[in-house]
Chain A
Amino acid sequence: MEDYNEFQEEEFSTKFNGRTIQRILSLLKPHWPWVLGFLVAISVVSGLDSYFTYLNKRIIDEGVAMRDMSVVFELMKPYAALLLVQAAAVFAFIWLTGVLGERVRYDLRKKMFEHLQNLSLSYYNRTPVGWIISRVTSDSDRVAELVTWGMLDTTWGIMNIITAMYFMAIINWKLALIVFACIPVLIVVASWFQKKIIKEYREVRKINSRITGAYNENITGVRVVKSLGREVANLDEFSGTTGEMYKAGFRAAWLSALFLPVVQIITAISLGSIIWYGGIQTEFGGMTLGGIQAFIAYMTFMLFPIQEMARVYAELQHAVASAERIFSMIDAVPTVIDLPGAKDPGTIKGDIVFENVRFAYDDAPDEAVLSDFNLHVKQGENIALVGPTGGGKSTIVNLICRFFEPTQGRILIGGTDYKDFTLHGIQSRIGVVLQTPHLFSGTIRENIRYGRLDASDAEVEEAAKLAGAHRFIEDLDGGYSGQVGEGGNLLSVGQKQLISLARAVLANPEFFVMDEATSSVDTLTEALIQQGMETMMKDRTSFIIAHRLSTIKRADRILVIEGGQIAEMGSHSQLMRQKGHYYNLYTQQFREELTGKQDPFLTGRPATAS
């Protein structure tokens, strides 16, 4: 995730946007009682803090200085009671603010996730997964932090300063004026420091992601590093990067170390002025002992609210930038959506017709991936797509599944433009098996059931049997309850493919699409996969992006797709006789398959891990 930090940093906007701030605040709307609650609680806490100092002053002046213990005792009674009140308010503000923060995070994540489910594939094609994850995790954190703890700290700071000023003015308004004069100075200094400090920390984070990258490369490339004897030069380079890290880290530490003393000295100057000014007046300008003590306390503790407010202010623009990125994602409009009046077709059985279809991706509208494409597929026909990578095979499949829609032209299902149907109506009736089968963490049973959520265990097993997956599942540890691991990584590619076939079988689609795996799987699994595919293709219209000869030969019609067009079309023997692209492709493939099957090194014995 670190890698995307830089990505994030670059598109960072510095201008405040009133609309964005309004929109951020609107996140709190449904929870306004909580907001009100924590604002009241923190106001009580900070007001009481100031009042306690004032009470101390009265205890000193009216009780201790007058040598009157009864006054001391009388004043301590409300003091003790208010301490309990304050503790309750502390509980309330931590709980309300914290829980609200978690709630806002939860809301944001939920909103983003649900929106993501509706976005079209074109959005995913141009947006890196890591970038999206950063939006859902770190950006939502930063925004939630701002509207909860950020708002709390600011309120606390403002209340603290106002109430402290109020009591100081009560004690001695002339001397209080001296203190007021130094507050703006403190605020300016504090904001300057916080901005600088945050900037250094961002720098540290950036260099840190470079360091992580260097470690990563050094570990994954260790064999090359060793065989090329690059150790010394590598360390030199790395030491340069850690040197930068040292400098940035030290600057951050240096600024933080300087900040507090500077602020304290400014406070001390005003404190000194007060004593000096008070001292040159008769009777200390009416200042009492307790008054002096209270002034010192007020001023010593005033720097904390100012520090906090400066920090929130410095974070503000980063949080606003985070919010802008979040909103840009939430505002992204899905390109493939149900048209008004779209209806569920009830069935998608029927002929499929491509009519002058042209397709280009959004980011390169002039480069047609598919142009002037015409095709008529009869109900129940099995089509094999072959041809070089990038020729347009996957695009055809994506268009049929309506992951994308034609830029020009129409696709008709049973005589109707498929845009007149709902997306769900089409996609829930198509079974898809991808080239790199994606499984979700969980059990095998759960993964197969993904095809039809209300299927019983018996139906799941039945589907697995039809797909040829049953036998290997039985042999696994845990059988159907065995875990597949993250992304299915506990299983081999062939096994994953069998499970995703079973998943498609269970869905019992009216239309079947498969992208065959290019990587080799062992002969037995291969045979099982073929069996599963046969089940799926029977009586169903199907499109297979084919890499295996047996699949190709079984098809009713073979389409050789090159440069976004149909280069050759026909049955196996027709195409062989043409001695064109297909002929070359086929003979080469045939040779490779045989080599793979016959190689005594590969088939003699199951390969052991080296």
Chain B
Amino acid sequence: MVTQGHLDQTDLKKVVSQKRFQGLVGLLQGNYRAYAAAAFSLAISALCRSGVYLLLAYFVDDVLGKPNFQTQVPLVALGFLGLALVQGIFTYASGTLSGRTGERVARRLRNYLYDQLQRLSFGFHDRTKTGELIQKVTSDVDAVRRFIAQESIEFGRIISLFLVNFGLLLYINTRLAWLSIICVPITVGMSVFFFGRISKAYEAFQNQDGALSAVLQENLSGVRVVKAFARQRYEIDKFEKENWSKYLLGRKLLMWHSTFWPISDIITGAQMLYGFYLGAQMTVAGILTLGDFIAYVSVLAWLLWPIRNLGRVIVQMSQGLVSFDRVASIIKEEREPLDDGDYQPAGKPRGELVFDNVSFEYESGQPVLSNISFRAEPGQVIALLGSTGSGKTSLVSLLPRFYDYTSGQILLDGVELKRYSRRYLRENIGIVLQEPFLFSRSIRENIRYSVADSMPDSDIEQAARAAAVHEVITTFPKQYETMVGERGVTLSGGQKQRITLARTLLKNPAILILDDATSSVDTETEAEIRAALKRLMENRTTFLIAHRIQSVMLADLILVFDQGKIVQQGKHEELLAQDGIYRKVFDIQTMIEEEVQREVASATGQD
């Protein structure tokens, strides 16, 4: 296991909120020394490489053909080996240190982002597309990692090779040195220009790839339609069009590459030849020694050729910066403070809830709930009845403080809800959603999801029994270890819902929210689920969202919603006695039963 140490304590939010450059540097926190050492190692290894050529010059000028030749040669040979060794060690050090820094920074970013995502408000998740988020937390994080571990290092390598070798050229001969880098600005400029174009062409190529995949995807998922209309030829032509256009864009991209490299070859080659010529002239004239000339020839190559890659690295780095900005945009979002709240009771709440003139809006000026007032005693069942969008779900979302109400007051056991911490509320409120959500892990882990891992298996099975799902689970070959989700068994809606019921039972909340929990359930198991629900509702203040009268008839209090307002409230009998929506709904349902009887009679009677 890699130690997390102080690394994970870093508040990345503070770091990335600074200016872009400072933010990037800040990401390295805890790795400054390693990264600096990587940069330092780069320079050392570049120095050693050039040192080889200095040694060569010494060998040529002062050893070869001199009287001390025989004794000096082994030393020179060892010198070559030694330099290579030192160079190797530092190349290795630079690669491994920068690699480690990149991986560490990436890991910290990944962990932070993961935590960030589960701690951002519902508001954030409501307005953000999953696909975009995933893109940012995966590809963009990887781009930042490459920026740190590879691209910056490559940039440093090119620059340090240039500086060290140019220094060496200056040492050999100043005039020659300056005349040897005439082409460098041209090469750099050209490289930057070409790689700018190449990255644009590449983008077009990638987009076309996306278009091609879309056609393929649609064809495969619509295979029945294609066959039903016998449209194979048409589909082939459609694919051919996109396929061919991708080929053409690929050619365009290659045109840029195949132009850039030979042109830069010619420019660099011409510079090399010019340098050779000048160097040779100076040597013949006696300005340079023969050893200097030989060193010069090699050093020049190490100076000129890497420069050509500068444009590529710069383009990659600028893309890395864009990725950094995108990652930073998520990190900058405000987290939901889980522990804020000055009232922290020791035990569970009793579950008495009072809504006093509560109003709520997601966006100002568009009230979702207005002037909601009612009272729920501990253990009571409160039913919420109303059409989609009438505010029922918004109301129950206020209880765990997924959203905070805009005005009015909610009192839990006599204390204002906003004084409780979100953590406390969520620990004590159980929610069963219309669409049961299970995680891709075993059934046991799914039931145990909200409680400590130390919870004994017997408790888990007991919860499963109470939720009427134990029997089903034992029919699976792997029983409680059965995997759920993509790589596991396919569970029916009812089975999934009962597992979430077991999960909620195990959590043992004082307040329960059932958001249309039986609507996605098949009729065969509805009775079992109702029984399980009944057990779950015992001794808990329960909020029940429903569409049908039958589900709400027995509630202690029924709230009828319309357009964010409570239009009627009371018990079943009271509401029936009133003239209003509730009675209308009831009448319709009674009428339907009569209608069914009539229909049956007419169908069976007629001949």
Contacts and interface: CB of A to CB of B under 8 A. Distances in A.
Contact of B266 (A87, A101, A208): A87
Contacts of B190: none
Nearest to B71: A279
Interface stretch (B74-82, B462-470, B526-534): B74-82
B337 interface: no
Contacts of A591: 592-593, 596
A428 B606 contact: no
Given A106-B247, A573-B603, A229 B91 contact: no
Contact of A265 (B88, B134, B589): B88
A586 B603 CA distance: 11
B234 interface: yes
Contact of A116 (B220, B253, B281, B581): B220
Contact of A136 (B64, B216, B277): B216
A587 B592 CA distance: 11
Interface string B59-87: 11000100001100110111011011101
A600 B591 CA distance: 13
B406 to A, nearest CB: 17
Contacts of A284: 64
Interface in B386-401: 386-390, 393-394, 400
B95 A600 contact: no
Contacts of B547: 599, 601
Contacts of B231: 450
Given A87-B266, A218-B118, A275-B77, A441 B214 contact: yes
Contact of B2 (A243, A292, A588, A599): A243
Interface string B151-188: 00000000000000000000000000000000000000
A228 B257 contact: no
Given A59-B280, A227-B426, A598-B591, 4 more contacts: A94-B258, A257-B99, A273-B77, A401-B228
Contacts of A225: 118
B507 interface: yes
A523 interface: no
A91 B338 contact: no
Contacts of A136: 216
Given A64-B280, A90-B261, A245 B107 contact: yes
B227 A272 contact: no
B229 A428 contact: yes
Interface in A238-297: 238-240, 242-243, 245-247, 249-250, 252-254, 256-258, 260-262, 264-265, 267-269, 271-273, 275-276, 278-280, 284, 289-290, 292-293, 296-297
B293 interface: yes
B104 A113 contact: no
Given A103-B247, A264-B84, A438-B225, A94 B254 contact: yes
B125 A219 contact: yes
A72 B279 CA distance: 11
Contacts of B334: none
A583 B251 CA distance: 66
Interface stretch (B16-24, B238-246, B309-317, B412-420): B238-246
A324 to B, nearest CB: 21
Interface string A12-45: 0000000000000000000000000000000000
A242 B110 contact: yes
Contacts, number: 435
Interface in B572-607: 581, 584-585, 588-589, 591-593, 595-596, 599-600, 603-604, 606-607
A284 to B, nearest CB: 7
B437 interface: yes
A608 B224 contact: no
Give the 3 A-B residue pairs with the shortest CB-CB distance, closest first. A257-B95, A253-B99, A279-B73
A76 interface: yes
Given A72-B280, A231-B338, A289-B60, A507 B229 contact: yes
Q: Which of B212, B229, B234, B591 has the most C-beta atoms of chain A within 10 angstroms of its own C-beta?
A: B229
Nearest to B584: A600
Interface in B207-255: 209, 212-214, 216-232, 234-236, 239-240, 243-244, 246-247, 250-251, 253-255
Contacts of B584: 600
B92 interface: yes
B503 interface: yes
A430 B595 contact: no
B450 interface: yes
Interface string A215-229: 111111111111111
A181 interface: no
A265 B600 contact: no
Contacts of A239: 4, 8, 111
A60 B293 contact: yes
A432 B214 contact: no
Interface in B533-549: 547-548
Contact of A224 (B220, B222, B437): B437
Contact of A76 (B276, B297, B440, B589): B276
Interface stretch (B352-360, B370-378, B427-435): B427-435
22 contacts: A60-B293, A60-B294, A98-B250, A113-B216, A124-B220, A133-B216, A224-B437, A227-B400, A234-B118, A239-B8, A250-B103, A261-B91, A280-B70, A280-B73, A427-B227, A431-B228, A438-B225, A487-B218, A503-B229, A573-B607, A598-B588, A607-B387
B346 interface: no
Contact of B257 (A87, A98, A401, A587): A98
A460 B132 CA distance: 37
Interface string A198-230: 000000000010011111111111111111111
B396 to A, nearest CB: 10
Nearest to A106: B247
